[in-house]
Amino acid sequence: MYEEIRSRMEQAVSELLAAAKLKRGDLLVIGCSSSEVMGQRIGTGSSMEAAKAVYAGCAPVLSREGIALAVQCCEHLNRAVILEEDAAIRYHLEMVNVIPRLKAGGSFATAAWNGMEHPCAVESIKAPAG
């Protein structure tokens, strides 16, 4: 099941990049409910496995294309956004001092934080795609 989630996410991101015509260095913001990925109501069935599969499907494609991934946290962290620190610096984004967790920030934000090399959080962001 998780391989199918990863594969579908990889395909979806590839199709989005083809349609959106993003340039190297652009930002793409993704918000994701792992509960909904698993067919449940938002916030009722968080799944780190599903979140990791979604991240594994999108992060390599975006990295290969030079597109910076920004991941939206849930309302428990005021919808802060997780991204690589170098992207935050490049776009002059104000960093905030939070670390997402399963029930405070969301599964996908936590998976992104754990998967990124130098993650940071910012309070707000503008991006050409999301």
Its pTM stands at 0.91
**pLDDT value at 10 more than 90:** yes
Q: Which residues contact 41 (CB under 8 A, 6 or more apart)?
A: 35
The per-residue pLDDT for 65 is 96
**33-54 tens-digit pLDDT:** 877 877 788 877 788 899 999 9
Confidence bin at 129 (pLDDT 50/70/90): confident
Fill in the amino acid letter for 75.
E
Q: Quick check: 93 and 27 in contact, CB under 8 A? A: no
Tokens of 119: 């993650």
